[in-house]
């Protein structure tokens, strides 16, 4: 049991925004914060992985970075590397792929090493709650502290033991990630899917469009839809600022998924 002042002193980092490169979101107070759970939802191929991997890698775009632990269950190590290389160099991912096949990617590899020194990743395709805890503990053992940012791509690739029902399992996973954020003071972000009527459709996704209705637990929820070369970010939940649950208020970010450019 703690007084409010004791709790504040113990959790001084809680609520501090992590670095983000998109000024329009930052200015609107639509940010991810330490000690909180954020969720980003969109249909396949919209750009949610591109958005969050870019944020984890470049920070605010001006040199301020958050140490990161990235659970990439939905994306294998080779694809993740190509995306990272595109973010670092501006090359098309197809060009990076060709250079890797030809063995001429040494310069690209050095760029990735330079730009991802603050990141560590786990590429297991399926993770139990115990796997997650073990990996976080291992990170803390090696570095002497928890990462400032943890990303889980995506929510459905993690399972909490003892829950066989899909909806109960997803909600149990959300609760676990929320607890991890509170206990570690890390900003925890998980990616998630939307219901079928919003998959592949260039229209705003409301908070009710999340699969399995997981909106109660996260502090911040972004939903995404893409119109041509613009990635539209709807802030449908934000306990620290303005939100529009309908999704009809959104911020447009220029996007080039071939080069993994967002913003």
| pLDDT, average across residues 9-23 | 81
Q: What is d(CA 238, CA 253) in angstroms, rounded to the nearest whole number?
A: 19
Please work out, in degrees rounded to the nearest 5, the angle formed at the alpha carbon of residue 262 by the alpha carbons of 259 and 263: 130
What pLDDT is stored for residue 11 in this prediction? 55
Strand order in the sheet with 220-227: 119-122, 68-71, 149-152, 187-192, 37-41, 220-227, 230-238, 250-256, 261-262
More confident residue, 172 or 3: 172
For range 199-214, the mean pLDDT: 91
The pLDDT of residue 201: 77
Averaged confidence pLDDT in the chain = 93
Q: Please, what are the domains in the chain? A: 4-213+226-262 (3.40.50.300)
Total Cβ atoms within 10 A of residue 102:
8
Q: Are 73 and 124 in contact (CB under 8 A)?
A: yes
- Confidence band (pLDDT; 50, 70, 90) for 13? low
Cis peptide bond N-terminal to 191, omega within 30: no
Of residues 159 and 3, more confidence is placed in: 159
pLDDT, tens digit (0-9, with 9 covering 90-100), for 148-176: 999 999 999 999 988 877 888 899 999 99
Instruction: Note the pLDDT tens digit of each residue in 174-193.
Output: 999 999 999 999 999 999 99
Q: Tell me, what's the pLDDT at 5? A: 42
- Measure the CA–CA gap between 223 and 15, rounded to whole angstroms: 21
Residue 200: pLDDT band (50, 70, 90) is confident
**Cα(19)–Cα(21) distance, rounded to whole angstroms?**
7
Q: What is the distance between the terminal CA atoms of the chain, rounded to a whole angstrom?
A: 44
Per-residue confidence (pLDDT) for residue 155, from 0 to 100: 95
188: which strand partners? 37, 150
Spatial contact of 203 and 225, defined as CB atoms under 8 Å apart: yes
The pLDDT tens digits for 87-111 are 999 999 999 999 999 999 889 999 9
Residues 6+ apart with CB under 8 A from 256: 229
Is the model's pLDDT at 143 over the cut of 80? yes
Q: Is the pLDDT of residue 248 over 50?
A: yes
Give me the pLDDT at residue 165, please.
79
In contact, 38 and 218? CB cutoff 8 Å = yes
Model pLDDT for residues 25-82, shown as the tens digit of each residue:
999 999 999 999 999 999 999 999 999 999 999 999 999 999 999 999 999 999 999 9
Residue 12, pLDDT > 60, answer no
C-beta of residue 27 within 8 angstroms of C-beta of residue 178: no
205: exposed, middle or buried (C-beta count within 10 Å: 0-12, 13-18, 19+)? Answer: buried
């Amino acid at each position: 049991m703690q007084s409010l002042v004791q709790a504040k002193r113990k959790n001084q980092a809680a609520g501090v925004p992590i670095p983000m490169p998109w000024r329009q979101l930052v200015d609107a107070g639509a940010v991810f914060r330490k000690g909180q759970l954020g969720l980003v939802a969109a249909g396949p191929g919209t750009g949610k992985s591109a958005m969050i991997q870019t944020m984890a890698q470049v920070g605010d775009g001006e040199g301020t970075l958050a140490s990161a632990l990235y659970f990439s269950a939905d994306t294998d190590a080779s694809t993740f590397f190509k995306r990272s290389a595109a973010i670092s160099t501006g090359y098309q991912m197809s060009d990076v792929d060709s250079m890797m096949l030809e063995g001429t990617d040494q310069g690209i590899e050095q760029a990735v090493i330079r730009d991802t020194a603050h990141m560590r990743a786990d590429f297991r395709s399926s993770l139990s709650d115990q796997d997650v805890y073990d990996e976080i503990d291992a990170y803390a053992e090696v570095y002497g502290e928890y990462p400032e940012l943890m990303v889980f791509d995506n929510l459905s690739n993690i399972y909490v033991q003892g829950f066989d029902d899909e909806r109960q399992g997803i909600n149990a996973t959300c609760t676990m990630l929320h607890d991890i954020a509170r206990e570690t003071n890390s900003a925890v972000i998980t990616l998630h899917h939307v219901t079928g009527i919003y998959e592949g459709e260039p229209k705003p996704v409301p908070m009710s469009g999340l699969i399995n209705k997981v909106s109660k637990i996260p502090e911040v929820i972004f939903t995404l839809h893409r119109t041509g070369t613009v990635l539209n970010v709807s802030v449908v939940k934000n306990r620290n600022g303005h939100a529009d649950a309908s999704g009809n208020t959104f911020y447009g970010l220029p996007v080039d998924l071939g080069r993994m450019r967002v913003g």
